[in-house]
Structure 1
Amino acid sequence: MPYRWDAKWVWLGDTGHRPGLLAGAVDPAVYDRFVLLRRAFDLTEVPGEAVLRAVANSRLVVWVNGHEVARGPVRSDARSTRCELVAVAEQLRPGRNAVAVLARYYGVPTAWWLPTPVTLGLGGGAVAAELRLGDGEVIATDERWRALAGDAWAPGPPSFEDGTGFLREMVDARQLPAGWTEADFDDAAWPRAEPIDPRNDGYLGVLEPPSDPFGRLPPRPIPQLSGDDRRPRRAVVVPTAAAVSPAADDPVEQVLADQRAAVLSATRPALPADGSVEVPGGSPQLVAFDFGETVAGTVRLDVEGPTGTRIDVALGEELDDDGLLVAEFAHAGLRYTARGADDGYESFDPLGGRYAVASVRAESAVRLRVAVRERLFPRARVPSAPFRCSDELLNEVFAIGLRTVELCSQDAYIDCPTREARAWTGDFVVHQSVHLATAEDWSLARWNPVLADTPRSDGMLPMAVCSNLGGGPLEGSYIPDWALHWIRAVRNLMRYTGDRELVASLLAGCERVLRWFVPYRGPDGLLAEVPGWVLIDWSAVPVAGTSAALNALWARALRDLEQMAEWLGDGHRASWARNLRHDVATGFEVFWEPERALYRDHRVAGAVRPAASRHTNAAAICAAIVPAERLAGLAATLADRSLLAHSAPAFERLGTGDLAAGADLVAHGNPEPSWDQQRWILEAQPFFRYVVHDALAEAGRADLVADACRDWGRCVRAGERTWPETWVGGSHCHGWSSTPTRDLVVYTLGVQPAEPGFARARVAPALGDLAWAEGTAPTPHGPLWVRADAESGRLAIDSPVPLDVEWGGEQRQLGPGRHELRSATS
């Protein structure tokens, strides 16, 4: 595609941009605006090639002849905006054709978008799109395109109190022309699109993209999101006792208000076979849908009812004893007012939940169907099962982790699809690791570390990417240790992809993060009194004063930088990191307690406190700052469940619905430990267990990992079909809890890179008490299949690359191909 577009930036009506002398500004009163754009054209024959590219501030959907072809842009830093680039020849036909675009300008920060910098001409609502045909013709946005202001949508209230930053979507279909994306739609009465002059300082009069502030506009780095249509498995109709006053601007609040007036003793008919629900007219009626598991995507409504029928929909993760949504877990909302004919609507932004409650207001009976079209990263799985073994519980644990990561893989790795949909800087290391261990398509695993490389001026990364938390006006919010997990994700790219250019492009960012901590070093080489939200994980890990867990994570990241720099031939950076890590190792001895043979958690006012955690001891092993003679004992301690205390105060409060108390603990820190600190060791929450399992393997006890993964059985027994945020509560679908899905491949089956980029693979099954395990792991050179049988001592491998094999106490080097081995003891 040519660097310079043929398209012009266009909009219709108020973009929200206000020009100034040297820079513009945006009007805060102009937010959550839509615009419809279309261009019809004729073709005598379908060209062999047709490519469409499009971009918008903030999001758009593009159709060709009524077929959706693109939805984006993917979240990114505004100055590195990506365009949509898709081949569309299959959607064209001889005769009349049309390209249609629906664009939404958020205007205010959300959980997945931050307002762009403002130039003299751009910074508000703007769209550019062009269809390039094989014969050289270009159908590009300009004043020849027809446009319609999106008055059908009412601006939703920005919701920040629950931390999500969701914008409710509210559309009145009576103002939305039916069939407007189709080729034969008559748009003659529509106004013409209004070109935007993208002026900036030093302007040279070029109207077409690329333009400041959006950067080069390269293509999106990941495929279009896709997935199955999910329909409810069950639905019930619940009338209300009296008409509740309609809420003017919030569908979620409307549903919750109607729930409070519900007649709970009413008969509740089940969902019929065709998935539709008959809803009586008159007083408001509630319809409660259960999808049977968490779903995430665009919500589809099909309505047969009178003009003016209003349907408010709220999605959530939990139901109360009456089968209605728990208010604290209802975050996503959609309002639809019916035109009375051709009533089908799909939400613009993705939503998520297991349950949906629709509040229906209609003069007469309504037939309603609800579905969710999942919009997920198309996880291309390897040809055969990634993992299965002799323990059915572990097979289920593995599969649930795959589904959880799938739901949390959208245009970035997100924390959860049901509440925030926020791309946290540290969370995604688990999602990425699962993809690298199980999926053929690593494009999102490569993209997310690049996406997160948006340092503040001091070198620290915001705690969430392109988000209203950690960016924009809340840039002051950061989690120092989350940036250290980001460095581990960059190291994962080195090991799995072997892409020197990619890793080298991120190495300076890794160094900047590590140097951010240096001013907090004391004479003993340890970090102390580090500011920011030192989270570690949701467990009540003491971090006041000199935090052992934070120091160990910093040392692990220094080790990561050292390894990457050595691989790239950057001796200076490697030496710098090595020396700092050596200083940490020397100072870290202050935390060692010989009597219990473990490291304690923190030092305050010169005194080391007695509290100890899995976090500190595991991170220290992973940082290689533990003397070799201690490793076996520490591994046994880490694996001993009888020593564990469980405490996550914020979520213990949140689990009771006490949001204020939970938030207070987040803001002010955990209380003093309530357990016997001389006896118990604090357990890690699911996220940090990836570090615990890494430590077991580093200590030579990968055979303990499979049994450790059985801890997720408590969630299986509780009926969870995706993994919750913590052992005690939170979101019911959190990708960071999915480490067993990585570990059963990497440690139990034992497949991982022996050299960067899988130039050589390491196969070292560590079955523990399993009778057998088998599976297929992806490599850049093709799938690698392994079956290990403990009872017969047989190991079968089919590999596209040379191998370092450890089996039955022996080490061998093998070439690519199929191998059958037997242990010496069998």
Structure 2
Amino acid sequence: MQWQASWIWLEGEPSPRNAWVCFRKSFELDRHASRLEEARLSITADSRYVLYVNGQLVGRGPVRSWPFEQSYDTYDLHHLLRPGRNCLAVLVTHFGVSTFSYVRGRGGLLAQLELSTGDGRTTLGTDGSWKVHRHLGYSRRTTRISPQQGFVEQLDARAWPGEWTDPVYDDSGWEDAKIVGPAGTPPWERLVPRDIPFLTEEVLHPTRVVSLHSVVPPQVAVAVDMRTIMMPDSADHAEQVQYAGFLATILRADGEGTARLLLSKPWLGDGIAASVNGQVYWADRMTRTPTGRELHLELSAGDNLLLVYVCGSDHADPLRLALDSDLGLELVPPLGGESPFVAIGPLGSRVVRNFDFSRPLEYDEAAVQRISSCASAADLHAWSHLLRPVPPELVSPADVFTLCTWPRRRERLSTGKDVEAMVVPSQDPGVAPILRAGDTELVLDFGQEVSGYLFLDVEASEGTVIDLYGFEFMEDDYRQDTVGLDNTLRYTCREGRQRYVSPQRRGLRYLMLTVRHARAPLRVHGVGVVQSTYPVSQAGTFRCSDPLLNDIWEISRLTTKLCMEDTFVDCPAYEQTFWVGDSRNEALIAYYLFGAEGLVRRCLRLVPGSRRYTPLYMDQVPSGWVSVIPNWTFLWVMACREYYERTGDLAFVQGIWPDIQYTLDHYLQHINGDGLLEISAWNLLDWAPIDQPNSGVVTHQNCFLVRALMDADELGRSAGDETARRYAERARELAAAINAHLWCPQHRAYIDSIHADGRRSDTLSMQTQVVALLTGVAEGDRAEVVRSYIASPPAGWVQIGSPFMSFFLYEAMVRQGMYAQMLEDVRHKYGIMLEHGATTCWETFPGALGARYTRSHCHAWSAAPGYFLGAYVLGVRPGGPGWRRVIVAPQPCDLAWARGSVPLPRGDRVDVSWRRSGQKLLLRVERPREVELEVVPPEGYELEVEERVRDIAPQ
């Protein structure tokens, strides 16, 4: 690609916070436009774009990438251009902050249209002739969706014409674009073409109306970005920070009485307090609620000083503050200013690196006590050196999440046919009625988890507000609100019929739709999701004699599908983050369910880009959070070997091999005098109380390093590097050190860790034993002992806490021939999910992380049955690189029959079915002719095999 276009932006701040910017370029095609042979548009933007051509939405992008390897997309526009006036229109969203999938750069758009006719070629690129204008409908005063994502979306359709993308729209009042620089301008040092297909788009509608309520919201619901207030430079990164400070405002009441206060700051614990007129309420005096902490205040008539104290860690969750009272309440600036708040502090602050919480935050505790006792705004002047007005852009005046989850009053009503018609796509719209007692709240159920872009098609009176809130789980009278995820959208209607498609991806199952300030009933022609996932051309199948296993396989399939975007993501709701270690298991699952080798290759190649920030590769990429989980890097090395086994792609191995050497060589620099890996990092494996300190020797990650070193030996020699044998030698040395120093003869088990101060862990966990056996560290008699623990976990040991860890448990089980026990564990643990209505796999098992069931209800690291049922019950496994040889070794256990298909890496599939007849197994296999087959009978069975072969279709 020869770039002639320039990066463009608008005048002003290079990297504005939460900016929505519109670009247009109009051009003429003569009457010979039908002779166009080619019309290709290449485009990228910082941070995200939505492309329209002649008013039609064409695509979204770019895929996530490192800024120094900026990805661009290419579209064929041949069918969209026409004789006469044409228009390219682009909506660019620039975050202005780093997230878990974006490293802060600066605002910019780069696009180049190449037209080809019989008369020659014409190039039309972004330059100073393009028109640009801020989108005035989107509020910039919104909070972060979550620490992992960008900003909440609130659009006032009255403030910006919906026709701005059309060719006939008059943009003469817009500014000329500002040229930032040519292709190659930092931070976008290199431009790389998109390396995966465009994602699918499928329109989904809700399946039912769950409920209709009349609701009255609280009087005040605001959200404040305390992180940026206290540590302004934190917009440049996504690290955890710690601080201590205050937020102050005046509550002006029209009389004397009480008010209800809600304070919410996820994950903060007890580091929060409130003070009203000098009366201090520490966290232990507040009532815990599902979404925060609640307090009843005594207010005087007139001005009341409210101070909110925040102390602790912050990863970009807003401080939510809501008030409700029979009094008239107003928030007033204590010392003047554009927003109703002033900040006091920080009294102490620091950036937390690699989960190092061993050093406590240092702050002025005496100042905290004195500031808390301030009884009036005049008392604040004593702290003038710490006082700062809070900029309006850091305060969201309409916190839709709290408005939806903390109403003053909520009354259930019966639904009628007009309401229920909202979920039926037809000529006749559904109707959301106006209710006398309050706003109209509807809860809609999609029948399963969905992932994509919300849309509305409505007829409304001007000024009608539609608040949308997506959540994942409800059961009987319990609704699990998405604390830590502001999964909301506010759309304020213009008069008449209008359609809106959100540019922000969301994951949800249930959609709360609340109508406020309507002067006429809202007529709903359509509401739903444009579901968007990674496209696959083939799919695995599985059925067996146990309906429970069939349902478990199906929720594993849907989970994996919804977590396949431009990378694997942990979940479509809370994070949408590519976690490197998670994706090793997800890749194996996806091979069996969808193939998806292109997505796996893209994920693996993204990881080494983090070497610009750390030689010990980051655990989520690309990201502004430089966080290291050593196991995640070791799993990445394992995934590279498994990708080679899957595809036989030697060019991939040769390309990635230097990056594997680079990070492993740096890890080997952390081997201590005992021959063990000793490191300060986020030493995580499972959401369970394993003794896995963030500084010291952790047994499970030493074991996984052994496995990574052995896989590096194999990869390096495949790449033609005979010196890679040194990694196998280091693996043997490390395994010997583990057995010498981390085995406890008294308990006949591997201990979890040795702390940095030399203290040996007294914790024994199933996780550590599983990994020691799985990686081959446990050998001989020790392997037999550990195997007995897996067969019968000892009481009092730390048990498996997440389906992610269960994947490794199942790997260990099948390697030991414990197929029946693996199936029973699957039935039990995943059966609990199905019992509670799950359509996708949970992040954790009930009780972990303090949740009633789980935090995320759709988590790809949990879809293990999608792999193990195909690989071991059907029994289809590779017999060498590229699957040119396939082994079929079914394990019937207690099943009467099973059948299914496993995709092959070059297309096509292997079909397997078997049925038990006494001790005889009737096996049928159909395969492509070029695939060699080896059949292995299960122990104790006689095989009767029917083999069929398919020829390659003629080209």
5 Å-filtered alignment, 1:545-624, equals 545-592=696-743, 598-603=749-754, 609=761, 611-624=763-776
Cα contact 1:615–1:684 (8 A) shared by 2 = no
Matches within 5 A, 1:167-186: 167-183=151-167, 185-186=168-169
- CA deviations on 1:798-823 (whole Å, 9 max, x unpaired) are 223112331245999x999639xxxx
1:600 deviates by 3.5
Hey, what does 1:804 align to over in structure 2? 934
Partner of 1:771: 896
2:836 aligned partner: 718
Describe the shift of the 1:631–1:246 C-alpha distance in structure 2 as closer, same or farther (beyond 3 A): closer
Q: How does 1:680-699 map to 2 (within 5 A)?
A: 680=797, 682-699=799-816
CA distance in 1, matches of 2:513, 2:190: 43
1:87 is matched by which residue type in structure 2? D
Q: Cα distance 1:506–1:811, how it changes in 2: closer, same or farther (>3 A)?
A: farther
Is 2:416 aligned against 1:429?
no
1:254 aligns with 2:404: no
Distance in 2 of aligned mates of 1:616 and 1:243: 49
TM-score normalized by structure 1?
A: 0.83
Q: Check the 8 A contact 1:166/1:332 in 2, yes or no.
A: no
In the TM superposition, what are the counterparts of 1:123-162 in structure 2 within 5 Å? Answer: 123-135=106-118, 136-159=121-144
Q: Secondary structure at the match of 2:504?
A: coil
Q: Which residue type is aligned with residue 149 of structure 1? A: R
Which secondary structure does the structure 2 equivalent of 1:784 belong to? strand
1:41 partnered with 2:28: yes
Aligned pair count?
744
Corresponding letter in the other structure for 1:738: A
Please state if 1:163 is matched with 2:314: no
Please identify the structure whose Cα radius of gyration is greater. 2
Alignment-derived partner of residue 304 in structure 2 = none
Contact 2:445 2:509 (8 Å CA) reproduced = yes
CA distances 1:573-616 after superposition (whole Å, capped 9, x unpaired): 23234333333235324444568764343345767555333322
Shift of 1:236: 3.5
Aligned to 1:218: 192
- Write out aligned runs for 1:625-704 (5 A): 625-628=777-780, 631=783, 634-640=786-792, 643=793, 676=796, 680=797, 682-702=799-819, 704=821
Shift of 1:89: 2.4
The equivalent residue for 1:786 is 912
Deviations 1:624-647 (A, max 9, x none): 22325654554453243xx266xx
- Aligned residue for 2:8? 10
Gaps of at least 5 residues in structure 1 are 18-25, 117-122, 199-206, 646-675, 820-826
> Partners of 2:537 and 2:692 in 1: how far apart?
41
Task: Report the alpha carbon displacement of residue 330 of structure 1 after superposing the two structures with TM.
Answer: 4.8
Instruction: Name 2:306's counterpart in structure 1.
Output: none
CA separation in 2, counterparts of 1:462 and 1:681?
28
Contact residue 683 and residue 698 of structure 2 kept, 8 A: no
> Counterpart in 1 of 2:454?
299
Distance 1:491 1:342 in 2: 55
**Cα distance, 1:137–1:717 mapped onto 2, change above 3 Å:** same
Pick from 89, 95, 102 the counterpart of residue 106 of structure 1.
Answer: 95
Aligned to 1:512: 662
| Separation in structure 2 between the aligned mates of residue 84 and residue 330 of structure 1, nearest angstrom | 29
Deviation at 1:246, TM superposition (A): 7.1
Gap change, CA 1:265 and 1:57, over 3 Å in 2:
closer
Matches within 5 A, 1:274-285: 274-275=422-423, 276-280=430-434, 283-285=438-440
Residue range with higher mean Cα deviation, 696-705 or 734-743: 696-705
Q: Is 1:537 the equivalent of 2:668?
A: no
Contact kept in structure 1, 2:18 and 2:140, CA below 8 Å: yes
Q: Equivalent of 1:390, from 545, 563, 570? A: 545
Aligned pair in 2 of structure 1 residues 71, 410: CA closer, same or farther (>3 Å)? Answer: same
* Kept in 1: contact 2:891–2:938 (CA 8 A): no
CA distance in 1, matches of 2:804, 2:589: 13
Q: Which one has a larger percent strand, Structure 1 or Structure 2?
A: 2
Change (3 A) 1:431 1:68: farther
Q: Is the 8 A contact 1:288 1:323 kept in 2?
A: no
Cα separation, 2, equivalents of 1:325 and 1:590 = 45
> Are 1:461 and 2:461 counterparts?
no
Aligned in 2, Cα 1:631/1:768: closer, same or farther, shift over 3 Å? farther
Q: CA 1:610–1:254 in 2, change beyond 3 Å: closer, same or farther?
A: closer
Matches within 5 A, 1:142-541: 142-159=127-144, 163-183=147-167, 185-191=168-174, 193-198=176-181, 207=182, 209-232=183-206, 233-241=208-216, 244-245=219-220, 250=396, 253-257=399-403, 259-261=405-407, 263-269=409-415, 271-275=419-423, 276-280=430-434, 283-319=438-474, 326=481, 328=483, 330-365=485-520, 366-368=522-524, 369-382=526-539, 385-453=540-608, 454-468=610-624, 470=625, 475=626, 477-528=627-678, 530-541=679-690
Give me the whole-angstrom Cα distance separating, in 1, the residues matched to 2:913 and 2:27. 57
Measured in 1, the distance between the counterparts of 2:759 and 2:130 equals: 72
Contact kept, 8 Å, 1:143 with 1:192, in 2: the verdict is no
Q: Is the 8 A contact 1:481 1:536 kept in 2?
A: yes
Deviation at 1:401, TM superposition (A): 0.7
How far has the Cα of 1:450 moved from its partner? 1.1
Shift of 1:143: 3.7
SS at match of 1:619: helix
SS at match of 2:866: helix
8 Å contact from structure 1 (residues 705, 747) kept in 2: no
The answer to which of 51-60 and 164-173 deviates more is 164-173
For 1:429, what is the secondary structure of its paired residue? helix
Equivalent position SS for 1:272? helix
Kept after mapping to 2: 8 A contact 1:244/1:261: no
- Alpha-carbon distance, 1:230 to partner: 2.2
Q: Counterpart amino acid of 1:36?
A: F
Query: Structure 2 CA distance, aligned partners of 1:250 and 1:607?
Result: 48
Q: Which amino acid aligns with 1:228?
A: E
Measure, in 2, the Cα distance between the counterparts of 1:381 and 1:356: 31
Q: Which amino acid aligns with 2:58?
A: V
Query: What SS is found at the alignment partner of 1:153?
Result: coil
Q: 1:438 to 1:698 in 2, by over 3 A?
A: same
C-alpha separation in 2, matches of 1:181 and 1:71: 15
Task: State which drifts further: 511-520 or 554-563.
Answer: 511-520
The partner residue of 1:53 within 35, 42, 49 is 42
Aligned: 1:818 with 2:949: yes
Structure 1 contact 13–149 (Cα < 8 Å) conserved: no
SS in 2 for 1:350: strand
- Contact 2:210–2:443 under 8 Å retained in 1: yes
Mark the CA change 1:636 to 1:773 in structure 2 (over 3 Å): closer, same or farther. Answer: farther
1:300 CA drift (Å): 0.7
Unmatched 5+ stretches in structure 2: 224-394, 424-429, 847-853, 951-955
Instruction: Show CA shifts across 1:673-720 (max 9, x none).
Output: xxx3xxx45225211222222222333445643333223112111221
1: CA distance between counterparts of 2:649 and 2:542? 26
Q: Shift in Å at residue 495 of structure 1?
A: 1.0
Q: Is the 8 A contact 2:101 2:148 kept in 1?
A: no
1:200-256 deviation per Cα after TM superposition (whole angstroms, max 9, x unaligned): xxxxxxx3x244332332221112122422222225332234773575964982342
